Chain A
Amino acid sequence: MFVTGYMTKRPVTVSPETLIQKARQILKEKGFRHLPVTSSEGKLLGMVTDRDIRSAYPSSVLDEKERVRILEKVSRSPVGSIMSTDLSSLNLNSTLDDALILLEKQNVGALPVVDDDHVVVGIFSVRDLMRAYGELFGLYEKGSSLISIIEEGQGAMNRAIKVLEAASIPFTRVIRALHPLDDDRLCPVIHTRVQTMNLPSVKKALSEAGLKVL
């Protein structure tokens, strides 16, 4: 549940003196969109994104003279002049929940991860978050499918688990949730990811225990 298990470790970083041109080249070559800017000790100073860099370059609608002037200026400017410094970061104890809340709140694509000394140890992107939750929900498990059992009656969860175990049906995820029905009512369900092709036998075993599958 910690970001450290899913982040990109030891990310490429640049110093504030790195020229914008060079940063642009790194992003382009590596296919990244975020570069942490660090001090010589590796401490986080800021972030520069492909968007920051694009904004630094002159707009194509400007007249030629003005364009050239800005281009010349950009070619001499370091990333320190355009990086954002008002930024949040994650730390070694940040959870996936922390990352989700922060990414959403800050409306950014990635956050740096720092250690106790504020040294950059990783970068955690929205993509990493999606992959992490995909794994948690068992999305990438081959040979499985999600079934939803209506949770009604005494001890439904207990009965459902017992049925699956008794029938030797491997299952990997159990999520208790409220499922919205067509008429907007919420129905308590147990989502579980079962690993078998023989779904009819799963449904039969559950229904014999008085459980309904959505």
Chain B
Amino acid sequence: MAKFKQVNVVYSDRFLDHDTGGSDHPESPERLRRILKNLNHGPLGDSLKLTEPSMASNESVLDVHSSDYLLRFEEACLSGRQDFGHPDNRICYDTYDVALLAAGACMNAVDLSEKAVDEVIFALVRPPGHHAETSLPLGFCFLNNVAIAARYWQKKYGRRRIFILDFDAHHGNGIQELFDTDPDVFYASIHEHPTFSFPGTGYEEDTGTGPGEGFTLNIALPPGATDSHVLKALKERVEPALEQFRPDCIVSAAGFDAHEADDMSGLAYTTHVFGHIGSFLAMWAERMCQGRLISVLEGGYSLDFLAPSVEMYLGALALKI
């Protein structure tokens, strides 16, 4: 019988209070409910531990976003507006606080990773973050959770070299923008080709700017790409980049919308491949950075296949060999 490490899920019911207006919006609270329920009832159930997050401090958020942007975001929520910057980005009165809590959860995940290296740490959060730029909300994202966690890891624990792997079907333009010129943070993303996919960024030709040149790796897959494409990308492009970069820690921007059943992208992965991604990450983290790895939920909108995909991913990360 398989044995699993403890899976520490940083989660709060408060994340459900970010109301995106009902059934038409793909980024719904139901996503997290289903993930949690499925984890509880599945083989990882006995290994599951829930950690209640704390809100991100303004100081940490300001490391990534502009103060003017935060003011506008808070104001939009409190004034009762229905969206911020674009009709896609639905907000409610609670969204600002919930977003701060989501960012805080990712910082808590960093703390846990420093304390308990033998646990699998997963920030089960919403709203997602990887499209949010310094002063721009985009694609359901407001605060860039992964970027805030990466900066926090550097500042609080002095872990300078951070590798971010983003396997969401959509390119994480926000993460790329924030670390574009930074040679200490490597951003690798595997996503659907920008010509056919939101947000229209992430061309393979974009490899970083100035001192950050060579520290961005965009892998753009054609619509319809399957498991074999992503496995090849991981083995032949991500692994060599990691080997060369030698990170102190890894942040996984874990999006599950490349699943074939998810109509938010044209990619066609099976549930199975998320297990492979988890295995690769576990192996790399073990080999290169003493297991220092956190995973942060980004997209994934197929209510029927998101939860099994997350379970497959975490199961592979947690498997004891």
Contact = CB atoms under 8 A, between A and B. Distances in A.
B88 A145 contact: no
B199 A197 contact: yes
Given A196-B87, A198-B88, A143 B139 contact: yes
Given A142-B138, A196-B87, A200-B26, 16 more contacts: A141-B200, A142-B136, A142-B173, A142-B201, A143-B199, A144-B198, A145-B194, A145-B195, A146-B196, A196-B88, A197-B88, A197-B199, A198-B26, A199-B264, A200-B263, A201-B24
Interface in A140-170: 141-146, 168, 170
Contact of B200 (A144, A168, A200): A144
A144 B199 CA distance: 5
B197 interface: yes
A195 interface: yes
Contacts of B140: 197
A199 B198 contact: yes
Interface of A: 139, 141-146, 168, 170, 193, 195-201, 203
Interface of B: 24-26, 86-88, 131, 136, 138-140, 170, 173, 194-201, 263-264
B272 to A, nearest CB: 23
10 contacts: A142-B173, A143-B86, A143-B200, A145-B196, A145-B197, A145-B199, A197-B198, A197-B264, A198-B25, A200-B26
B199 A142 contact: yes
A145 B263 contact: no
A197 B170 CA distance: 9
How would you classify the secondary structure of chain B's contact residues: helix, strand, loop or mixed? loop
Nearest to A144: B200
A69 B136 CA distance: 62
Nearest to A196: B88
Contacts of B198: 143-145, 196-197, 199
Contact of A146 (B170, B195, B201): B195
Contacts of A146: 195-196
B261 to A, nearest CB: 12
A206 to B, nearest CB: 14
Nearest to A201: B24
A143 B174 CA distance: 11
A195 B26 CA distance: 16
B36 to A, nearest CB: 24
Nearest to A194: B198
Nearest to B141: A197
A97 to B, nearest CB: 23
A144 B131 CA distance: 12
A94 B86 CA distance: 37
Contacts of A200: 26, 263-264
What are the 7 tightest A-B residue pairs by CB atom distance, in nearest-first order? A197-B139, A200-B263, A197-B198, A144-B200, A143-B199, A145-B198, A197-B88
B59 to A, nearest CB: 28
Contacts of A203: 263
B138 A143 contact: yes
B260 to A, nearest CB: 14
